[in-house]
Structure formats: C-alpha cells, structure tokens
Structure 1
Amino acid sequence: MTDLKSLKKLLQLYEDIISVNHRTEIARELRDEDDLFLFLCLSETLGLPNPAYYYTLELYPYMLGKFHDWHLRMGMDKSPLTGFRCC
C-alpha cells in the first residue's frame, strides 16, 4: 500500500516538473477551446447557422454558468443574447 502511495507521489512530482513551464499555455489553450465550444453551441442565437443545433440545445442549462464568465471575459458587461439572462 505504501509503495502505491509513493508511486503516485512520484508520478505527480514528475507531472508537475514536466508541466511547470507550460501551465499558463495549457490553461490558455483549454480556455480557448471552451470559448470555441461555447461559440459553436450558441452560434444559432448569434445568427449563424448551426447544423448541430438540435444536439446542442440540451446543453444550454449547463452552459449558463460558463456563459456569464465568457461574456465578462470578452468585455461585455451584460449578456449580449436576449435568450440568456445570466446577470
């Protein structure tokens, strides 16, 4: 059991050493991917055709929290969409 714990600690230390210089880049890439996904899901409400609108419609309740953070990060004080009232 202690060998397993020490192995997990060693693997965590290795991962930390490898990613220490790239944490901000990784966080930025993940944020950009989230922004793109949010844009694609909400493109229909922005006036752009979305071929997967039917499949992304059920994701809207889960995206409300992320949408608020997104529009604030994009420099919009209030929600630009009439259907999404998050503020």
Structure 2
Amino acid sequence: MTNGGENLSAPRRFAAGLREFYVAPYRRTFARAQRDEDDLFMMIVLAEMLGVPNPASYYTVELLPVMYDRFHDWHRRMGMDHSPLDHFSCC
C-alpha cells in the first residue's frame, strides 16, 4: 500500500511542479493587476468623500466600514502622505 501511495503522490507532485513552472512568471503581474483593481474599487467607494460625484453612492455607502481598514495603505500607495479626507484621519 505504501508503493501505491507513493505512485499517486508522484504525479500530483509533478503536476504541482508544472503548475508552478507556468504560473510563477506571471504571479507578480497578476498581483499588480489585482492591486490596481482594488485601488480603483477603493476610489469608487470613496469618491463621494474625495469630492467626486458618485451616482452609486447609495450602494457604496455600505462598503465604507470595510474600506476603512485598508484606507491607510491605499492613500500611501497613491502618494499621499496624510489622509486626503478632512474628517477621517488614519495617520
């Protein structure tokens, strides 16, 4: 039974190695694309607070408590040393 288990794990290890071989060069690209998408989403949710009219503010107001946790990292990535919001200070 030990040989059967080793034979089954060898193809799985080989498949995992192949997957890693093909995915590894694009991992950074996918991570950057995900971060850019998250930043855009953050800006859409916070648009009303930043002074940009947001027609979907009725729907995005429910997401504000979730976004506040990530707000500090977002404004630092956008190049703002301090919070751009007058009534919300995170630093």
TM-score normalized by the length of structure 1: 0.80
Paired residues of 1:79 and 1:85 also in contact (CA < 8 A): yes
- Name the structure 2 match of 1:42: 46
* Counterpart position of 1:62: 66
Could you tell me how far 1:3 is from its partner in structure 2? 8.3
Task: Tell me the matched-pair count.
Answer: 87
Q: Once the 2 structures are TM-superposed, how far is the Cα of residue 14 of structure 1 from its aligned partner?
A: 3.5
* Residue 74 (str. 1) matches residue 78 (str. 2): yes
User: Does 2:20 align with 1:13?
Assistant: no
Contact 1:43 1:49 in 2 (8 A): yes
Where in structure 2 are there 5+ consecutive unaligned residues?
Answer: none
| Equivalent residues of 1:68, 1:79 under 8 A apart | yes
Over 3 Å counting, the alpha-carbon distance change for 1:45 and 1:5 in structure 2 is farther
Q: TM-score normalised to the size of structure 2?
A: 0.77
Q: Which amino acid aligns with 1:33?
A: E
1:83 aligns with 2:87: yes
1:33 aligns with 2:15: no
Q: CA deviation at 1:68?
A: 0.5
Change (3 A) 1:44 1:7: farther
Letter in 1 for 2:55: P
Aligned-residue sequence identity (percent) comes to 48
Bigger radius of gyration = 2
Cα distance between partner residues in 1 of 2:20 and 2:79:
33
